[in-house]
Amino acid sequence: MGQNILVDEIGYLPMDPKRAVYRGEETLQFSVIDKKTGEEVYGGVTGREIYCKAAEEKNRIISFDALTEPGEYYIKAGDEESVTFEIKDWAYRDAMKSMLKFFYLQRCGTSLPKEHAGIYAHDKCHDTDARIYGTDTFKNVSGGWHDAGDFGRYIVPAAVTIADLFLALELDPDLAKQDFDAPVDYPEMGPLLSEIKYEIDWMLKMQDEKTGEVYHKVTCMHFCDFFMPEDEKDELVISPTSYAATLDFAASLAMAIKFFKPYDAEYAAVLESASKKAYDAAMKMEVKSFRNPEEIVTGEYGDEGLEDELYWASAELFRAFGDEKYRKTFEEMAYTHISHGYGWEDVYSFGNVAYILSEYPLDETLKNIIIAAIDAKADSLMTLCRSNGYNVSFNEKSFIWGSNMYLIQNACHLYTAYFFTRKEYYLEAAIEHVHYIFGKNPCNICFLTGYGTNRVMNPHHRPSAAKKEPMPGMIIGGPDSGLHDPTAEKHLQGMPAAKCYVDELLSYSTNEITLYWNSAMICMLAQFTKDYKERK
């Protein structure tokens, strides 16, 4: 993996900007070579030097936008050669299918047949009733998706995951028909909505029937070893309800209603009742961050800032139902403070988009203020892009746990700004973030399992470890300069921030996977695909 010409290893779309990175001291002539014929089809000179402090290296951009002919190519400059890449229409279609199938392969509470799951087939798992923490009461909360490399199920990331997928469907309705080689429980809905419903059905079970509050998570007390899910036999425990889980539940289910109503009005009514009940319950709850009970050491998802949950939920319920109380709450908050975020810790952007796209009467002045704030956020990201040798919105302080998710979120911010302002350079910058994830990065690795010449082989993911084969279609967390696990500490001391990544099973801080990293990338690619259709 020592190449110094870095490309998107999955490919480039014919009409889009095409960039590679050469890391080296000198300006060089470069050639793009047709792999089939061995002939040069395009040439030029590497661009000006950009010092990438985060990677501690000198970068020069290789631009080959004018090459639009589909085919397989590699780039040569001096003694260096890139890996082979493709230029073709819908270059990311197969990757998208694989990322979507990941959700099916993460199903909990059911058996996965070999016909669809291949080597990751397993018997029914985690189907016993779970004990509500601190009580002798048991509750059926089977179903849903395993959240990450472990087998826990958590409401907060689940809500953000389906929110990403609903945004993807809104931007590219054709995604609903995308086949990804998984059983379709509700054929009339199509594969993706059917799969999302599997997760929502579990989420509904996590709501307390009496109070409307929503339990934060269901896991065992401790993380298990690296085996298949049906082999985890410890008692399942439902952690207490939380403010964040209750409002995220309300928001994401409000989003869901319009997608399911055309197919099942009764189910949509269930979602409406559950969403409103959760919102009303949250208004009576103490506003405090969730903390694991002392005996439970599985993922916490303890959000420190909770204003954004109310912001998002109010916007989504206003968009879904048009009630004055939701509109008033959102507008009062937005006039006080507008922020951004597409992740589980910060969900402001979901609220911003929901409000702007509402079909109910809203405050046009506030709408314009929010769009201006989105534009300003994107402009600040562009400043980072222009000073980064990889054309992405990161600096040396950006490489934290889950850095790839934050980078994809930035791409979504840039596209959101493009969507509302039509400034082309926002779109071009968002595309560069996709290329980064797929190989044009300082680690010189494709961060999507199963893809690329330089690929991830040892993700922190229990089924992959059990089968000794990385499950395809998973977005990896990426560099974390905090060195938050013993394996990272051992291998990455003194490394530049952008290179603090190690492809080792036990490096959970750099090499784990999660639902919401996949869904964020799917949302980004859906936006990318929508725009590409329009330009074709």
**What is the per-residue pLDDT across 397-446, written as a single tens digit (0 to 9) for each?**
999 999 999 999 999 999 999 999 999 999 999 999 999 999 999 999 99
Burial class for 31, CB neighbours closer than 10 Å (0-12, 13-18, 19+): middle
Going by C-alpha positions, the residue among 272, 391, 270, 381 that lies closest to residue 320 is 272
C-beta of residue 350 within 8 angstroms of C-beta of residue 342: yes
- Checking if the pLDDT of 280 tops 50, the result is yes
Q: Residue 131: pLDDT above 80? A: yes
> How confident is residue 277, by pLDDT bands cut at 50, 70 and 90?
very high
Residue 341 has pLDDT above 90, yes or no: yes
CB-CB contact of 346 with 308 (8 Å): yes
Residue 303's pLDDT is 87
pLDDT for 535 beyond 90: no
Say what the pLDDT of residue 241 is.
98
Checking if the pLDDT of 460 tops 50, the result is yes
**Are 384 and 349 within 8 A, CB to CB?**
no
Taking the alpha carbons of 184, 187, 192, 196 in that order, is the dihedral positive or negative?
A: negative
Q: What is the pLDDT of residues 218-258, one digit of tens each?
A: 999 999 999 999 999 999 999 999 999 999 999 999 999 99
pLDDT score recorded for residue 140: 98
Give the 3-state secondary structure of residue 266.
helix
Which amino acid appears at position 249 of this protein? F
Out of 126, 216, 460, 461, which one is annotated catalytic? 460
pLDDT band at 536 (very low <50, low <70, confident <90, very high): low
Burial of 168 (0-12, 13-18, 19+ CB in 10 A): buried
Active-site annotation holds for 150: yes
Nearest-angstrom CA–CA distance, 289 and 283 = 15
Assess whether 512 carries a catalytic annotation: yes
Longest dimension (CA), the chain: 73
Supply 53's token pair: 């402090």
Q: Which residues are CB-neighbours of 353 under 8 A, at least 6 positions away?
A: 167, 416
79 is catalytic: no
Q: Which of 16, 248, 308, 503 is catalytic?
A: 503
Closest CA to 469 of 226, 304, 130: 226
CA distance linking residue 160 with residue 127, whole number of Å = 24
Helical spans, DSSP H, in 322-438: 324-336, 348-356, 364-386, 403-421, 424-437
403-421 and 348-356 are packed helices; what angle lies between their axes, rounded to 10 degrees? 20
CA separation, residue 271 to residues 248, 252, 472 (Å): 13, 10, 32
**Annotation marks residue 359 as catalytic:** no
- Give residues with Cβ within 8 angstroms of 327, minimum separation 6: 314, 318, 360, 362
Work out the average pLDDT over 329-352.
Answer: 97
Report residue 195's pLDDT band, with 50, 70 and 90 as the boundaries.
very high
Check residue 2 and give its pLDDT.
53
Predicted confidence at residue 1, as pLDDT, reads 42
**pLDDT given at position 473:** 98
Task: Find the catalytic residue in 9, 57, 150, 164.
Answer: 150
Q: What is the pTM (predicted TM-score) of this model?
A: 0.96
- The Cβ of residue 372 has, within 10 Å, a number of other Cβ atoms equal to 13
Domains (ranges, CATH) in the chain?
A: 105-362 (1.50.10.10)
Instruction: Give per-residue pLDDT as tens, 88-111.
Output: 998 999 999 999 999 999 999 999
416 closest CA partner among 468, 519, 342:
342
Q: Choose, from 272, 303, 480, 512, the residue flagged as catalytic.
A: 512
Q: How many helices (H) and strands (E) does the chain have?
A: 16, 14
Mean pLDDT, residues 505-510 taken together: 98
